[in-house]
Amino acid sequence: MVLAVGFGSALTAQTVPLIEDLTEVRVEVNGNVISIQRDQAIASRYSRQAKLPWNCPPDCIQPLIAAPGVTTIAELETIAFLETMVSTSLGLLIDTRAPGQFAQGTIPGAVNVPTAALAPGNPYLGEILLALGAQTQGGALNFDTALDLTVFGAGPSSDQAVRTIDNLLAAGYPASKIRYYRGGMQDWQSQGLSLSVHQNEG
């Protein structure tokens, strides 16, 4: 359920609108209220962190289309997915990075399902797919009631999300139920959008 939307009067020194006249989106997810805002300090901090060396592979630029039938989205569509799908328990926002990276900061409302968890060789793959809403039918998995997913990784130069999507499709997950946020954490942070930190949990 979308709780509230903030407008221009809520601006602080480093906060800028998401779009014209919209400074905040607040969404309730599993009883917790998450807030998405845009903060220049986050973008500035990320720009310093981004000056790390890349190696290709694995840090190769990914295609715009992850797979046929999978919709590629950007930041505003990801926020809309949180509002319309995650908040109503019809969808899941999946961070495919390693748990340590997830703990340091992720998109509010995201859950951590590392790429390796959906690899074909994982003996728990079937259980994970059932947790995503698939059902056993005649000895096979049926995905009619499976959750809609938005999948992201470190950024456009990371293959984490694409490999996860490939694994989902190989397991039978419908492409129509998968969205690919190609920009991932790199683009999210570069826009100064809110982060959720989980370092002190568990």
| CATH for 144 | 3.40.250.10
* 115 inside domain: yes
- Rounded average pLDDT over 81-98: 97
List all residues 6 or more positions away from 122 whose beta carbon is below 8 Å from its beta carbon: 116, 128
Number of domains in the chain: 1
Q: Print the domain residue range for 95.
A: 64-190
Does pLDDT of 11 surpass 70? no
* 195 inside domain: no
* 21 inside domain: no
* 130 inside domain: yes
Determine contact, residues 81/91, Cβ cutoff 8 Å.
yes
**Average pLDDT in the chain:** 87
Joined tokens for residue 90: 């019809």
Query: Of 73, 147, 163, 152, which Cα lies nearest the Cα of 106?
Result: 152
- Comparing 4-13, 85-94, 130-139, which segment has the lowest mean pLDDT? 4-13
More confident call, 57 vs 11: 57
* 120 inside domain: yes
Residue 149: its pLDDT value, please? 99
Strand partners, 72: 180
* 153 inside domain: yes
Query: Which of the 8 DSSP states describes residue 100?
Result: H
Residue 113: its pLDDT value, please? 98
Helix (H, G, I), strand (E, B) or coil at 140: strand
Residue 59: its pLDDT value, please? 76
List all residues 6 or more positions away from 73 whose beta carbon is below 8 Å from its beta carbon: 81, 150, 179, 180, 181, 182
